[in-house]
Amino acid sequence: MDEKIRVVGLSQLSRAVRKVDAEAAKQLRLVGNEAANLLIEKTSQQIPTVSGRARSSLKAQSTRTSARVAVGGSRAPYYPWLDFGGEGRVAGRPGRREFIKGGRYLYPTLAKEGTAIAKLLQDGLVATAKSAGLDVSS
């Protein structure tokens, strides 16, 4: 379940880009959102739907130095139960669902699509650094 894509030197790149071009620094967050949205697109296709709330609860949340996908929230508080299983103590939902530590949807999709997401991140970060006037070798 510890599936993550780590970009070594992203904080340093963020600081360097911010010194050169403040607008390009904002672009780093947009690159993170783009990667998170790719994961959301691939994951949401697999999530079963009755009302569509669980699917629509996946949201990209990025900063200049990190990107993540938020799930559930107040409109779909049962999302963790749907993905991982467990006791299901949310009102109106069935009780027990087999617990799967790695999840059914989000983390398996990240493992499967990690290479494509990493490539998207790399291309976006290189383009952002070049647009800020930094010399980049990819």
| pLDDT tens profile 16-75 | 777 777 777 788 889 999 999 999 999 999 999 989 999 999 999 988 888 899 999 998
Which residues, in sequence order, are CB contacts of 136 under 8 Å at separation 6+?
126, 129, 130
pLDDT at 16: 73
pLDDT at 99: 92
In a 13 Å sphere around the CA of 21, the CA atoms on its Cβ side amount to 13
In a domain, 138, yes or no: no
Number of structural domains (the chain) is: 1
In a domain, 4, yes or no: no
In a domain, 3, yes or no: no
Q: In this structure, what token pair is assigned to residue 96? A: 């027990």
In a domain, 88, yes or no: yes
Residue range 81-91: average pLDDT? 80
In a domain, 137, yes or no: no
In a domain, 124, yes or no: yes
Residue range 80-95: average pLDDT? 77
Q: In this structure, what token pair is assigned to residue 100? A: 């799967």
Model pTM above 0.95: no
In a domain, 1, yes or no: no
- Residue 62 bridge partners (DSSP): 67
Domain that holds residue 83: 10-131
Q: 59 with 66: CB under 8 angstroms?
A: no
pLDDT bin (cut points 50, 70, 90) of residue 116 is very high
